[in-house]
Amino acid sequence: MTRGRILAWGIMLAGTLYYLAPLIATFEFSLRMKRGVYSFEAYRVVFSNNQFQDAFLYSVVQALATIVVGAAIVAPTAYFVRLRLPRLRGLVEFITLLPLVVPAIVLVFGYIKLFSSSSYLPLTSTSLGADALLMFGYVALSLPYMYRAVDSSLSTIDVRTLTEAAESLGAGTATILLRVILPNIRSGILSGAFVSFAIVIGEFTFASLLDRPAFGPYLQLIGASRAYEPSALAMMAFALTWGCMGLMQAFSGGAHQTAKR
């Protein structure tokens, strides 16, 4: 083996240790709830806890809503920009970059200011309004990834020809979108969906400042008060993220997505 290759293996080893150490540590710690013996007690406690179930369910519902609304907004836009409004592409892509430039905490601050009880759209004053606001916030956070996934999926099908073929057979725009385009970009939507899911489940800033009973604030709360359960939750979160990103990659054919925190 050449000297360079040994160095490369050494670096990979160091990297692997660094990445695996927290995972191993967390897993090991999460097994220590029962004194003196390794057990999954911490996990049992966590899963049977009502607050956990409520918070997790809340976030799951939010995630699903985010995915549906996000896809509903992104898919037609990506389609029309590609097909008929290519000059808007620059503007649209700029907008999809905004959530990456504006930190989440600044954005939610803007939400609170704009939608406070004394403004035109007092979303923050009702529970349902705040839920909706949170969902829109999540759509904004996942917008870059959803758009990129759908757009790249659209680039692999010949949108123009498919549309013209469908039109020649008498289909209207809505039908084309729903019956022709959507089924063909399924993988892109799924790819975006899994990233969105991962983002929403673990999200803290928005949920905390909008005071909603989501999974993120719940995690933080547990961490402040319990010893072993946080580790179990962290392992869960990691497994969930891994699952989501793995599924996202399976549907995206290689494009890599990252979320900023």
Partner 1 sequence: MRLPWREGLGVAPFFVFAALFLIVPTVSLLVGAFQDKDGGFTLDNIVRLWQPSILNSYKLSIEISVASALAGALAGFVLALAALRGGLPGWVRPTLMTFSGVASNFAGVPLAFAFMATLGRLGFVTLALRGLGVDIYAAGFNLFTFSGLTLTYCYFQIPLMTLVMAPAIEGLKREWSEAAETLGASHLQYWRMVALPVLWPSLAGAALLLFANAFGAVATAYALTGSFLNITPILLYAQIRGDVLHDPNLGYALALGMLVITGASNLGYLALRARSDRWLR
Ranges within 241-260 binding partner 1 (CB under 8 A): 241-242, 244-246, 248-249, 256-260
Shortest Cβ 127–partner 1 spacing (Å):
19
The binder of partner 1 chosen from 33, 65, 79, 180 (CB under 8 A): 79
| Position 39 contacts partner 1 (CB under 8 A) | no
C-beta closer to partner 1: residue 64 or 240 = 240
> Which residues in the 158-177 window bind partner 1 by CB under 8 A?
173, 177
| Position 62 contacts partner 1 (CB under 8 A) | no
Shortest Cβ 170–partner 1 spacing (Å):
15
Site string for partner 1, 184-223 (x = CB under 8 A): -----------x--xx--xxxx---x------x--xx--x
| Position 45 contacts partner 1 (CB under 8 A) | no
| Position 40 contacts partner 1 (CB under 8 A) | no
| Position 81 contacts partner 1 (CB under 8 A) | yes
**3-state secondary structure string across the chain:** CCHHHHHHHHHHHHHHHHHHHHHHHHHHHHCCCCCCCCCCHHHHHHHHCHHHHHHHHHHHHHHHHHHHHHHHHHHHHHHHHHHCCHHHHHHHHHHHHHHHHCCHHHHHHHHHHHCCCCCCCCHHHCHHHHHHHHHHHHHHHHHHHHHHHHHHHHHCCCHHHHHHHHHHCCCCHHHHHHHHHHHHCHHHHHHHHHHHHHHHHHCCHHHHHCCCCCHHHHHHHHHHHCCCHHHHHHHHHHHHHHHHHHHHHHHHCCCCCCCCC
